[in-house]
Structure 1
Amino acid sequence: MITFDEALQNVLEHSQNYGDEMVELVDSHGRILAETIEADRDFPPFDRSTKDGIAIRFGALNSQNQSFTISGIAQAGSPQLVLTDENSCIEVMTGAMVPKNADTVVMYEHTTKNGETFTIDEFVKQGQNIHYQSSDVHKGEVLLQSGIKITAAEIGVLATVGKAKVSVKKLPKVAVISTGNELVNVDKTPLPFQIRKSNSYSLISLLENEKIKGDIHHVLDEPSAIKQTLKNLLKDYDVLLLSGGVSKGKYDFLPEAFDSLGVEKVFHRVLQRPGKPFWFGKQKQYETTVFSFPGNPVSTFVNYHLYFKPWLNKTLGTDTMQFDVFLDEPYRNSTDLTLFVGVKVKMMEGKLVANTISSTGSGDLLALAKADGFIKVLPKEEIARGKIVPFIPTRNRM
């Protein structure tokens, strides 16, 4: 067996670039940007009014002249008007182009209107209430760097520069495969010796968080059926995510099937809990990466976050965020394994504080549903209350 750190390093060394693709702007949310975005024009592209009011020439304002006759109205979205008489003003709306020859905007609230004349009642500073052209961004300036995750904020920037289609990192095609005669569909009533499939749906849901539309497959514990199913899937998919069939039981046929199909084992079994029997390999002919997780729900769920998600991040050219929390209780690991312990976290005095969740083991789905993530505890490590520990979040709100 190898250590967790060795296993993770081996997984990351097998990351793969699947190239780029163009998608519609509305479909780019949550994807990884694969191009550098530059401003296609100045921002703002013209001197724009930041208030509803009147545009004047500041030089015409003095102690003898505080009143200006209206000569027009500048509306947002209309061509620029021209202030031809410095003793007049042009009404201007928020977002409208400041009229040519005008250099100051006075908001309506600081004026008094009498017929077709505005009298200014407050102190005026030259250039006030104008958002000047290119004061935010110059044309050609880099707005977004390649490699970032596109969120709603980036969508706004992309729309502003006219990116109706966006280049993003291409996602792998993923098959989610469950194994075992004991599994039945969710809509079926299990017999006393059966259980409903859960791992496949958990994995499919996790993949959707990454904008990957995975396909579900199931195979019975029969060597020839397993071999034939895997043979087809290895050709058709970039990644296989399996659950079950990799322990040392008499019906754990996957390692033998992998070997017969040319899937090279990188490692099998890791000094960790949960997820010790994890199997990882690569079919080099088809360049298919195989993550074969233990069948217990918590093991599958934890290993997805420990291995597949960092692998996917590296594949897409992004970093895996590192998190720490303060443990609100002492914890002792008396084993030679790296433990991943489910915790609930809360904010206390500006710090993220974690408390462990009691669990009956790697099949405890209820504990899994309660956890915000898992803390990492090294072999033989003793953690005092209040100490900082590594944290792997498993909920999007984290």
Structure 2
Amino acid sequence: MISVQEASASILSHLYKPDTRRVPLQEAVGSVLAEPVTADRDFPPFHRVTMDGIAIAFDAWEKGKRTFLIEGTQAAGEPKKTLTSAENALEVMTGAMLPAGTDTVVRYEDLAIESPNATITVDNITRGQSVHRQGQDAASGEVLLSPNMILSPAEIAVLASVGKTVVKIKNYPRTAVIASGDELVEVGQTPLPHQIRRSNTYAIEAAMKTLGWKGDQFHLPDDKDTLRRSLEKILKQYDSVILSGGVSQGKFDFIPGVLESLGVKKVFHQVSQRPGKPLWFGASPEGKTAFALPGNPVSTFMCFYRYILPWLWTSLGIEPRQEYAVLAEDFTFKPQLTYFLQVSVKNDGGMLMAYPDAGGGSGDFANLKKIDGFLELPMERSEFKAGESLPFIPFRA
């Protein structure tokens, strides 16, 4: 049995190597960028007016001029106009090109306009005010987006601004999500007294979908020969498999042995943790990975977020983000195991407070609806005091 830290390190030493594809810009949000994106011109591409008002030559103001003849209007989207006299002004609209011969914009709120003249009514203005200078944000050829970024709506706006109609992104691993167990029936069936509906694979697939990651569900029986035939086919078609159930030491827990018989070498089996102690992880010489999670729902849920999610992000070139929360009340856990405490969280004055709600154990999946994640309590201690900051593994946005 290995520690949580050893399990994490072992998993992260067997990363998926993603290939890439090109998708239309409208389909790229939530994906991981696989190419650098550069500015195709200066940003902004011209001296841009940022306030409605008049554009003047600051030197005229500096020489004492306060009333300016308005020669005309420079609207947004029009070619650049030219001020014919440094003693005059042009009305300008937000987003317009700054007219030639001007360098400063005075907003309407600081003017008294009696057509055709505008008088500046404030005592102080500064040269270049209310002008967004050409190239101020980025120069032509400058890298705006780097590979390995998750494309949020903000990055989509940048891609659109440089004319990227098609975007190169990284492919997620093709993944099979597999439930095993004769006690499981489909969601739409009425279970007999000795049966339960299959839920773990739906939870895993839903978690994957929130990341833009697709998985295909399978249900396999507790029969060694059937498991072997089915897993052999699945391993040929998928980059990774996530299994739920059949990994403990029971008489019908065939998954570890079957995987190894198919060339998926065991990296570790069993982790010093609760829940999720029977966790099994293996990899094949071809780079296929298998996560065999305990069948108890809370164990499955925790293992996905604690181990599989960091593996995915690291494989895609993204550094997993470690969050922390403050324990809101004293808690005791005596076994020499890392304990993943179920908690609900609340932002209290900018501090994320974690309130324990252990529920009925790893089989109490109904308790998941009341919590927001898991607080990771180290195995070296048994007493944890309110006010301690500890690693937090969230599963809600």
TM-score interval (norm. to shorter): over 0.9
In structure 1, stretches of 5+ residues that fail to align are: none
In 2, the alpha carbon distance for the partners of 1:263 and 1:125 equals 70
In 2, the alpha carbon distance for the partners of 1:59 and 1:348 equals 53
Offset from partner CA, 1:233-289 (integer Å, 9 cap, x none): 00000010110111112221212211221211111122211111111111224x321
Counterpart for residue 88 of structure 1? 88
Alignment partner of 1:202 is 2:217: no
Tell me if the contact between 1:234 and 1:283 (Cα under 8 Å) persists in the aligned partners.
Answer: no
Per-residue deviation, 1:62: 7.1
Higher mean C-alpha deviation, range 119-128 or range 352-361: 119-128
SS at match of 1:346: strand
Counterpart for residue 212 of structure 2? 211
In 1, the alpha carbon distance for the partners of 2:248 and 2:279 equals 8
- What is the identity, as a one-letter code, of the residue corresponding to 1:225? T
Aligned residues: CA RMSD: 1.9
Per-residue deviation, 1:380: 4.8
Counterpart for residue 42 of structure 1? 42
Per-residue deviation, 1:77: 0.8
- C-alpha change, 1:62 and 1:284, in structure 2 (3 Å) is closer
Per-residue deviation, 1:200: 0.7
In 2, the alpha carbon distance for the partners of 1:333 and 1:380 equals 11
In 2, the alpha carbon distance for the partners of 1:320 and 1:256 equals 31
Per-residue deviation, 1:146: 2.2
Counterpart for residue 304 of structure 2? 304
Matches within 5 A, 1:253-268: 253-268=254-269
In structure 2, stretches of 5+ residues that fail to align are: none
Aligned pair count reads 395
Counterpart for residue 282 of structure 2? 281
Counterpart for residue 326 of structure 1? 326
Per-residue deviation, 1:218: 0.8
Q: Which runs of at least 4 in structure 1 moved beyond 6 Å after TM superposition?
A: none
- What is the identity, as a one-letter code, of the residue corresponding to 2:147? S
- C-alpha change, 1:305 and 1:88, in structure 2 (3 Å) is same
Per-residue deviation, 1:297: 0.5
Percent same amino acid at aligned positions? 45
Alignment partner of 1:110 is 2:136: no
Alignment partner of 1:391 is 2:392: yes
Tell me if the contact between 1:80 and 1:99 (Cα under 8 Å) persists in the aligned partners.
Answer: yes
- C-alpha change, 1:309 and 1:107, in structure 2 (3 Å) is same
Offset from partner CA, 1:303-353 (integer Å, 9 cap, x none): 111211111111011111112222122222321222111011112243222
Tell me if the contact between 1:21 and 1:169 (Cα under 8 Å) persists in the aligned partners.
Answer: yes
Higher mean C-alpha deviation, range 54-63 or range 319-328: 54-63
In 2, the alpha carbon distance for the partners of 1:4 and 1:125 equals 60
Matches within 5 A, 1:1-398: 1-61=1-61, 65-123=65-123, 124-285=125-286, 287-381=287-381, 382-396=383-397
SS at match of 2:219: strand
SS at match of 2:272: strand
Per-residue deviation, 1:358: 3.1
Taking structure 2 as the reference length, the TM-score comes to 0.94
SS at match of 2:278: coil
Offset from partner CA, 1:130-184 (integer Å, 9 cap, x none): 2221222222223223222221222222222222222222211111011111111
- C-alpha change, 1:358 and 1:66, in structure 2 (3 Å) is closer
Tell me if the contact between 2:38 and 2:143 (Cα under 8 Å) persists in the aligned partners.
Answer: yes
Tell me if the contact between 1:21 and 1:168 (Cα under 8 Å) persists in the aligned partners.
Answer: yes
Tell me if the contact between 2:55 and 2:105 (Cα under 8 Å) persists in the aligned partners.
Answer: yes
SS at match of 1:5: helix
Taking structure 1 as the reference length, the TM-score comes to 0.94
In 2, the alpha carbon distance for the partners of 1:126 and 1:267 equals 68
Tell me if the contact between 2:341 and 2:358 (Cα under 8 Å) persists in the aligned partners.
Answer: no
